[in-house]
A and B are shown apart, each in its own frame.
Chain A
Amino acid sequence: MTPKNTEPLLRVENLRVEVPSRRGALTAVDDVSFDIAPGEVLGVVGESGAGKSLTGAAIIGLLEPPLRIAGGSITLSGRRIDTLPYEAMRRVRGKEIGVIFQDPLTSLNPLHTVGHQLVETVRTHLDMGSVEARGRALSLLGEVGIAAAEERIDHYPHQFSGGMRQRVVIALAIAASPRLIIADEPTTALDVSVQAQIIALLKRLGRDHGTAIMLVTHDMGVIAETAHRVAVMYAGRIVEIGSVRKIIDRPSHPYTAGLMASIPRTSGPRGRLQQIDGTMPRLNAIPEGCPFNPRCPKRLSRCRHDRPDLIPSGDADVACWLYLPVSEPTHA
């Protein structure tokens, strides 16, 4: 159920996030552009330090100083939000963009009951009286699959199990019916059996309410089960973006291909795993040219000097010189 080609809900163009250091600014997110359509689930994958979480944080205006947006624009339904002042952005967050973080404990206030926090959030963003807001809180808890909501609404976060807490966080995120949810590793802290429950819940939200979801995770399995499209990030840049089956079954970029091949599976042969030698460069040592070139098995000579841009190639956008209409077949 890939969404129709409509006006994008979120448009990120040439986003650049920098962190100042004693040896000049380091670029953590470099020239990242993508769209999310209403009702679409966009998966953003990459290894730790690839810039995927920072991209999410930049969109919701929660970059931790000294990190800052150094260029580009973020547009939500036609309105620029990266230039909004803090207070206005705070209203956008929650009302128009819901946020789900990895650790449910850090997103919930341990001193207040779950109901209090839900009512608070509902009343901040929607024009509701306290009775009405409590009714909405109850229906939200029911919606995220918490049984006996009337009883559970007056419990404190520590009285919930890990999976139930993450459900509460999701209820908070959808309290004001936002059109976009940014979920940063929402299932990483959970056990597998609970993970599956949360994935199912996120998918249902997208389907029932047309909520778009930007799902940031390092777990390709979660992406495969949830996302419509996938953006693969490496060293702060998107190296490939396309439909989920295309990325998983027929990856174009050598990094995507290596990443997919290195994922252990639970069936098939059990010999050696495919591996990508070396490690992702640190921010202060991103190589010239294509950032992946020192590890790339298909490196061309120009990869060492020219940085490839993300350009359409077949059914995906790829940032790789191998997929240029006119390519140089000179292997290095």
Chain B
Amino acid sequence: MSELTASGTPASVPERPQRWMRFVDSDLLWSFSRSPVTMVAAVIALVIIGAALLTPLIAPQDPYDLASLSLLDATAPPAWLKDGSWNYPLGTDNQGRDVLSAVLYGTRLSLLLGCSAVILSFLLGVTLGLIAGWRGGIVDALIMRVADVQLSFPAILIALLIDGVVRSVLPRQVQTEISLYVTVLAIALSYWVHFARTVRGSTMVERNKEYIQAARVIGVHPARIVVGHLLPNVVGPILVIATINLATAILTEATLSFLGVGLPPTEPSLGTLIRIGNDYLLSGDWWISIFPGIALALLILSVNLLGDWLRDAFNPKLR
């Protein structure tokens, strides 16, 4: 009988490639390099995210610092137009705020808000989805019926509802202070269902696979099975949803702010900026809303394209 190792490899197995080499060699990177649209989207997204992170350093003006604003410079057009000045490359708004700085700060805020909302709904949805899928039975029925009810209300409606409740209960001063948190919560509450449903579905599939049963036979504690075995195997498709939800969350925030129930004008997000500019659109001061609008569109588009690519890259059937 041969005592060869069954792997058929010689005894001196070559050193396993470094993590970095494996990454460079991975199918994910390969599919990335084959999609020019995705690469452009990634560059745009990186520029926007970089700008948002570095805003306090690169913005010409601090739009929150009321002292630096001058009403005399209000509604100045972009620099390349008549009466424009390179002090305000993209012009100023009705209060003399530099539009470029406002857009930078607004993007930063929108991204922060969108990410927080997605993370919160991710945590909520994944937890509830795992519980529903793992336990099954009455717990599952309960969670999923709540999800069904939730799904029949549009996100905007839920946000408006929460906002309305907060407004009627809390004093105005507190409202402004916590408006950021309220908006995040409102968006998170309307998006957890997507996560919960997907996680529940894949949990129910994975739960019956033999590697989960093997862990049960070994005697692994159920909590450890869920966290150690189940979670890593259901989280892949969820990351794709998270990316696409990020775009939707930012858009929802912009919509809420545009409708006046999101962030207050003192802390303008992109949506707030567009709303402020909207009043001046007809009087010819188009730059106040158009530039935040372009920033928003670019941000959403690039994030969505990245999400689409991720979905295709993770789906072997479409490759």
Contacts and interface: CB of A to CB of B under 8 A. Distances in A.
B8 interface: yes
A22 B8 contact: no
B21 interface: no
B8 A272 contact: no
Nearest to B2: A277
Interface string B4-41: 10101000000000000000000100100000000000
Contacts of B214: none
B4 A272 contact: no
Given A272-B1, A277-B6, A295-B8, 10 more contacts: A22-B27, A22-B30, A277-B2, A277-B4, A277-B8, A278-B4, A278-B6, A278-B8, A279-B8, A294-B8
A275 to B, nearest CB: 8
Interface residues of B, number: 7
Nearest to B27: A22
Interface string B146-158: 0000000000000
A266 to B, nearest CB: 24
A277 B7 CA distance: 9
Q: Is the interface of A mostly helix, strand, loop or mixed?
A: loop
B311 to A, nearest CB: 20
Interface string B53-74: 0000000000000000000000
A19 to B, nearest CB: 12
Interface in A285-327: 294-295
13 contacts: A22-B27, A22-B30, A272-B1, A277-B2, A277-B4, A277-B6, A277-B8, A278-B4, A278-B6, A278-B8, A279-B8, A294-B8, A295-B8
Contacts of A294: 8
A48 B6 CA distance: 18
B17 to A, nearest CB: 16
Contacts of B2: 277
A22 to B, nearest CB: 6
A298 B196 CA distance: 59
B104 to A, nearest CB: 40
A279 B6 CA distance: 8
A22 B32 CA distance: 13
Contacts of A272: 1
Nearest to B34: A22
Contacts of A278: 4, 6, 8
Contacts of B6: 277-278
A272 B6 CA distance: 17
A278 B8 CA distance: 5
A312 to B, nearest CB: 32
A279 to B, nearest CB: 6
A295 B8 CA distance: 9
A295 B2 CA distance: 11
A279 B8 CA distance: 8
B9 to A, nearest CB: 10
Contacts of A279: 8
Interface in A174-210: none
B199 to A, nearest CB: 29
Nearest to B31: A22
